[in-house]
Structure 1
């Protein structure tokens, strides 16, 4: 489900609140408008030579900077802007070329004086808006500001410039602003024609009374039908901005928002990337396709954020950081200031890169550079490591005996006979700068593939089951002209897993040859559920004397114990889950409200937004799933648009139930046979009309299963009680041991209790314990996810002994900690660090051993 776009839409008012508008367009639509649909994302192999004239001499290369929206929302003031501006300097972004400090929605509430001039809040801006621009200038930056083409704005009534285009532009210029972003919430509400409205705003900018050069960012983020059936039509949607943008602005948005305040997700980054690629011919010096802002540390992994930065650079996109740079990690700052990658984005030829090949979930993208080199991005969209390959000739380089591959992220240089190849981690990208010829003495380009395991029908991930042997395969390829010698492959596995070690064979690999090794790996009986790393290593020589080592890694998942008896599916840990908006919600509708359909409430179930997939491991132990599907009543509060979906139950990849298209008028009961099924997948589609306002519910999901399986699955103790150092009212320690994924313990947050905070589980009697699992909260909130932990045990509740400590990733995946078996009645988990400085837990389970 895509809620109304808000980032380009500034302050966060839902568009549906602005839609009481006349049915006819305010101005006449241009007859030359060309509709661009969402399916137009497959770009041609090379950008054409069509280069419309830019409107000014600005942005000859894509502009770089920072914007308030995704990291701050609409809550900021003079001191905030001053602080961020200073941070851009002190953290090295200014030195790397970032030049614009841009105020988005929230700087103005829509007030004007008797002459129509904009007035602002004196508390928010004590010295006025000119003082803000002056400070930004004093630190060596350019200042950007924001408005809307309509009367109203995305943040509320009267926050637009319609009827005041020239007056507002003159005021912005007199304050000293160097760039203007113009949204289209009010414009859509008034049914303005974007080409006309933005053309008029362009003319106002060019005629500003201060004769100030001002960069112009066109921001109509509305996809066809986003405001209701046929509203806007394709020719007034974001997908048509390319048709007038090059002669109207310095950049134009090519898709809806890439996220929400404090949230930018990988799936939305990929969507915006694909739509931005639809018209590379429109981009060039002074006029750029704009896929929206960069969002590191706002919901993506570090690899995904790096992939966004990579692909935006290949697309010749403006690079505007949306996150609060003051709180970004140094690793992220290092990523954003990678001069080699920035040089690709800033290449003076100004040709936008295009996709030349797809390989499963992998892509090959190429950008032609001014000196004849090619930037080649190998993108992995999927959730598992993938080896992606192309050739120098496919990238457009002429014939040569050797080519130089500069890896712009690892800062390594190798020679290749012509193949361009890499093993790309899940949700990540490798970026090469490829040139003809190679200096003597360069290492040969080699690729070590990540380990692979047999595919699991009905699931895209990799499973390893306790006590069961798994075939593991890995390969090492030499693509260089120089032979590789003494190549040997070995596999490292977690402690206690058997079958790893050095593989037999090896030797010399000439150009284009691959060394393949196989192992039979077994996870021990009782292995805790969670993710485990399998690491393959290769050691080899080249040039007779140079020694190299490479590693590649695969994360395999040991699933939770298959469910047993008769119970609710929402209590079972999932393998993975996705939702088109926010996150899947156990026992709630997406967004956190109780599940309600047709006026009936349901205590149990699963709330999602289209498109969605939620996968569970059943291990062949269940026979039937029953439930009710439909559209949540919450859609009625949003508006009459959207609210449609389709529901499918898949068993090992085969359909067992299909609802057809469902709307808000009726619910549908279902019963699906699951006999012998290993992987259950609950999938929700958008019913063919897009995901707007599609809050879909799987209500009352009940599983019928056999007896809960025993060995080789782990045995978990049944706790007696739990206590915590602090707990906020309504989030008791007992919620972490109640067997439900939907309830949580959360430490005190009003006022905040500082870390460390602990939760102690009482087993009722002394018994052997040798491990625990920790399920972070699964709702849309993130505070309290434990990242630094310590585990202690005690037989009397007074004297505790530490048995484990470490770090967990800040995400919603199931975590584990194994330790030497100890006799204990009490087990204490202490959060030494956590998201937001808090501690929380959905479920804690203790393994007996």
Structure 2
């Protein structure tokens, strides 16, 4: 499980940062004593609540507008996506609940205290939307907040529990998602007690509304990373049917790299929570991004497959009216859906791990197992696990059904696949298999390079079945410019259950363009497999060729500072926000090319003019840097809450590493990851102009150690786009 990050609040949108700060402050204000409060102690201060009915016997499925539309949702696009659910066939496969998220309501309740739909965006009202959805055979979901206001600043349900629950019932609502921004903590209570009381109140109000409504709770997300997290999940499972327990998933307008990082983060915190989930009570790692720009088909399929393995709700949050055939295929794969919706209702667990990969296993009804081989790394690799490790009973043979390609193979006990970067191979594994089923095979690349024979690999064809392979031919295909020796050849006939080998040498094309080029070299073996006949298997090798940038400035790829008269180019947080050049000059004495001295360190601020690229949104860039010293110093900030390794390469060919992280630029503790505040401004620029006055927007310094006595040649930044680097220097 990865280290939990601060929850990404919806109020990162322009104009809502003050709310984000307040919400983050609430999360961070949980005192140590409160964090240690047990579920029993909390319950003692909270009225007893009846167990909420099991309205979600399998993980909920459907669509939510938030990730793609945020506060831009309206009646038209909600109903258009509902129609797309039906016309695409997704509704018939289980995606049957359409949920309208935050910002759907007017700024104030009416004179009777009722919530009012925004008359501009939902002119026909919510009862009308509910009737339209029901007429399509769909269910109606709606969002509210447990606090005094929603994350977007609209009326919350605090002290209106029964009124709101009854109103939702009258509108035909089938699913209620209750967020947790702005929950007040009464005097004499701790934060967990306050959250427990307010969610218990809504749970009882829904229970007595006269309508069956699935209840989605967001309380655990506000305690992620605290010692109260498990306790909050525990009582959430009593009060509702599912719970958001951590970070929000990335927004639709964020980069592909940020989306993949977010998927990894949410998978990381959810995969370790199997003990806290029970059939009918579901951990919810948030929305599916299948269909969003920037994600590859492998990444889309990985998220769907991993969510299915974790028995997570499958809730799409993209524009389904424009979804590609590949995205719809990943969402609508009935065999993968069956793993998610399996009646046993068990969350899959990690049964094996290695460098850049996880193997998950999930028991299924009837004794089968779903087994997922997840390659989280940036390079293709062969992932292997034994059937016994995956939890299968001993047997002489097993049948593997690839739930994406639909290929069926037979193995004597090894489950293996050649997995591309960021991809997941998901199998349904059953006892049995006969001689007419193709044997399970895999291609494995092993680096056997030496100084005398660089870029040399042992390429093996592994046979995990009972049939003896014959007539084996190996061919290696590479992109234009690469040289492969040998490119084709015949392999000797191996004994059943063993491997055949070939030594292959690769030579990369010459390239002087700065940056890293990723190339895929594919080895394909064709063969005959006894009674099963002709077969084949392919295995990729990812080759990275890196040409260092000549300087940090040459690698700048993001606009972090804008003029208050032209804020449009801003992009520090992927939603158009940025530092103000005027505030930096007036409040911190920082202008293009100026020296920043802070915390005993000295940096040169970028010479870039406001509105031009002036920082690196770190994605593994390698930068030329010369010098010796005791530490490498960075000036930067974050728009997430992550760390990543920095690799330093010295002139003698050796390397050293260190972890780099910064606090969030506005809304987290200022000493996270060992960083220190270097400069502060009191507002920021948003796409509509300067805003959020009174909130501190900061830039930080941090350091990693160097090997003393060695001369630095280059540095490789973390592959974490949320980390932004403005400057670096070597400290004597």
Which category of TM-score, normalised to the shorter sequence, fits these structures? 0.7 to 0.9
Pick closer, same or farther for the CA change 1:643–1:431 going to 2, 3 Å: closer
What is the CA-CA distance between 1:539 and the residue it aligns to? 1.3
Task: Give the RMSD, CA atoms, in angstroms.
Answer: 4.1
Pick closer, same or farther for the CA change 1:375–1:196 going to 2, 3 Å: same
Pick closer, same or farther for the CA change 1:682–1:394 going to 2, 3 Å: closer
- Using the TM superposition, name which of 592-601 and 103-112 deviates more: 592-601
Pick closer, same or farther for the CA change 1:307–1:683 going to 2, 3 Å: closer
Match of 1:311 in 2: 306
Match of 1:288 in 2: 282
Pick closer, same or farther for the CA change 1:702–1:311 going to 2, 3 Å: same
Match of 1:134 in 2: 131
Match of 1:522 in 2: 507
- Using the TM superposition, name which of 651-660 and 493-502 deviates more: 651-660
Pairs within 5 Å for 1:146-225: 146-156=143-153, 158-187=154-183, 191=191, 193-208=194-209, 211-220=210-219, 222-224=221-223
Query: Normalising by structure 2, what TM-score?
Result: 0.77
Q: 2 CA distance for matches of 1:445 and 1:289?
A: 34
Q: 2 CA distance for matches of 1:304 and 1:552?
A: 18
Pairs within 5 Å for 1:369-448: 369-448=364-443
Pick closer, same or farther for the CA change 1:189–1:422 going to 2, 3 Å: farther
What is the CA-CA distance between 1:514 and the residue it aligns to? 1.8
Match of 2:597 in 1: none
Q: 2 CA distance for matches of 1:592 and 1:414?
A: 53
Contact 1:241–1:252 (Cα < 8 Å) also in 2? no
What is the CA-CA distance between 1:80 and the residue it aligns to? 1.5
- Using the TM superposition, name which of 54-63 and 521-530 deviates more: 521-530
Select the residue among 15, 19, 32 that pairs with 2:38. Answer: 32
Q: 1 CA distance for matches of 2:541 and 2:20?
A: 45
Pick closer, same or farther for the CA change 1:24–1:645 going to 2, 3 Å: closer
User: Are residue 245 (structure 1) and residue 248 (structure 2) matched?
Assistant: no
Q: 2 CA distance for matches of 1:455 and 1:250?
A: 57
Contact 1:383–1:426 (Cα < 8 Å) also in 2? yes
Pick closer, same or farther for the CA change 1:545–1:375 going to 2, 3 Å: closer
User: Are residue 603 (structure 1) and residue 598 (structure 2) matched?
Assistant: no
Select the residue among 648, 656, 664 that pairs with 1:650. Answer: 648
Pairs within 5 Å for 1:709-728: none
Match of 1:753 in 2: none
What is the CA-CA distance between 1:657 and the residue it aligns to? 11
Pairs within 5 Å for 1:701-740: none
User: Are residue 699 (structure 1) and residue 708 (structure 2) matched?
Assistant: no
What is the CA-CA distance between 1:412 and the residue it aligns to? 0.6
List per-residue Cα deviations over 1:566-611 (Å, max 9, x = no partner).
xx4221589xx9x9xxxxxx999666547859442322496468xx
Contact 2:555–2:621 (Cα < 8 Å) also in 1? no
Q: 2 CA distance for matches of 1:100 and 1:204?
A: 21
Q: 2 CA distance for matches of 1:669 and 1:393?
A: 46
Q: 2 CA distance for matches of 1:184 and 1:383?
A: 36
Q: 1 CA distance for matches of 2:491 and 2:30?
A: 73
Q: 1 CA distance for matches of 2:155 and 2:293?
A: 27
What is the CA-CA distance between 1:195 and the residue it aligns to? 2.3
Secondary structure (helix, strand or coil) at the match of 2:370 reads strand
User: Are residue 680 (structure 1) and residue 686 (structure 2) matched?
Assistant: no
Structure 2: gaps spanning 5 or more residues: 42-48, 561-568, 592-604, 609-613, 662-672, 680-699
Match of 2:467 in 1: 482
What is the CA-CA distance between 1:9 and the residue it aligns to? 9.5
Select the residue among 51, 56, 77 that pairs with 1:80. Answer: 77
Pairs within 5 Å for 1:504-515: 506-515=491-500
Q: 1 CA distance for matches of 2:241 and 2:380?
A: 38
What is the CA-CA distance between 1:272 and the residue it aligns to? 1.7
Query: Normalising by structure 1, what TM-score?
Result: 0.67
Secondary structure (helix, strand or coil) at the match of 2:78 reads helix
What is the CA-CA distance between 1:76 and the residue it aligns to? 1.8
Contact 1:477–1:512 (Cα < 8 Å) also in 2? yes
Contact 1:475–1:517 (Cα < 8 Å) also in 2? yes
Match of 2:22 in 1: 18
Q: 2 CA distance for matches of 1:118 and 1:64?
A: 26
Q: 2 CA distance for matches of 1:550 and 1:478?
A: 10
What is the CA-CA distance between 1:452 and the residue it aligns to? 5.2
- Using the TM superposition, name which of 140-149 and 496-505 deviates more: 496-505
List per-residue Cα deviations over 1:496-531 (Å, max 9, x = no partner).
433434455513233431222222222355686733
Pick closer, same or farther for the CA change 1:662–1:351 going to 2, 3 Å: closer
